[in-house]
Amino acid sequence: MASAFYNPIGTTALITGASSGLGVGYAHELAQRGADLVLVARRQARLESLAVDLAEKYGTVSTVIPLDLTAADAVPELVRDLRERMITIGTLVNNAGFATFGTVLDSNEAREREQVALNVQALTALTHALLPDLVETASLHPHAAALINLASTAAFQPVPYMAVYGATKAYVLSYTEAVSYETRASGLKVTAICPGPVDTEFFEVAQTGSGKKGTPLTVDAVMRASFSALDRSVMPSVVLVGARNAILARFASIYPRRAVLNAVGRLNTPRGTR
């Protein structure tokens, strides 16, 4: 397939969850390609350190906005801040998200609400607020605008012991595919990135009782898959990272749903309770 190099030079990219893991990876890749950045996360010191690193390596101008996106007024506050600074966003990376591990019966309801607020509500509100900017940038600067939503291979089937996480990522996948279709004539590149486990702080935050399954992907592997897709002339609306993950996602779509549910449930069952 013919390539259309994704070139965000002269535009600004906003990354949520930019203080660690995949967020840092996207920040480096976008800065290297010439984008200025808006870095959003709760941990201000980490964001400021990243901004200095990006400036030294790439000459990137980064705007640091420390913000807890689970707060009800966080997205309106962020959008107001961008307007006051007269920053137009050309690429949006909705990377912020987290998981919890355990049964629904034993879960902390407040923490589960925070998970939905971040993984679903903040992503939806920020996409809705900034989509006009993204589409406008796509019209003015071909191959320079993108919407990247971080989904997961967990999006393709129910995930026992991570029920809310799997459900939120299924939403992200469905929502992103719909937005991709609706904006297909605009030139905006829209995709849901679906990695399996990645070697980040994810597992520590989730406090998974069963640990990492197999060998986790590296941040670099997710970046290569993401930007290889961005460079294509026709952007795929879903990017599955890793051949094994692509096969597993395919199986989830063709095998009986109960069989897939049982298999994932057995795989995810905490040690000592199987």
Per-residue pLDDT reduced to its tens digit, 241-257 = 976 766 676 766 675 67
Strands in 36-41's sheet, in edge-to-edge order, are 62-66, 36-41, 12-16, 91-94, 146-150, 189-194, 238-240
Q: What is the reported pLDDT for 212?
A: 47
Tens-digit pLDDT profile for residues 104-116: 999 999 999 999 9
**Superfamily holding 12-268:** NAD(P)-binding Rossmann-like Domain (3.40.50.720)
Please say if 165 is a catalytic residue.
yes
Tens-digit pLDDT profile for residues 113-152: 999 999 999 999 999 999 999 999 999 999 999 999 999 9
Q: How confident is the model at residue 201 (pLDDT cuts 50, 70, 90)?
A: low
Here the tokens at position 249 are 């996602």
Mean of pLDDT over the chain: 90
In terms of pTM, does the model score above 0.85? yes
> Given 161, 165, 175, 181, which residue is catalytic?
165
Q: Is the pLDDT of residue 211 over 50?
A: no
Lowest mean pLDDT segment, chosen from 108-112, 163-167, 187-191, 202-206? 202-206
Q: What is the reported pLDDT for 2?
A: 46
Mean pLDDT of 153-164: 92
Q: Is the pLDDT of residue 210 over 50?
A: no
CA distance 195 to 133: 27
CA 232 to centroid of chain Cα atoms: 19
Sorted by sequence, the CB contacts under 8 Å of residue 38 that are 6+ apart come out as 12, 13, 14, 15, 62, 63, 65, 82, 87, 89
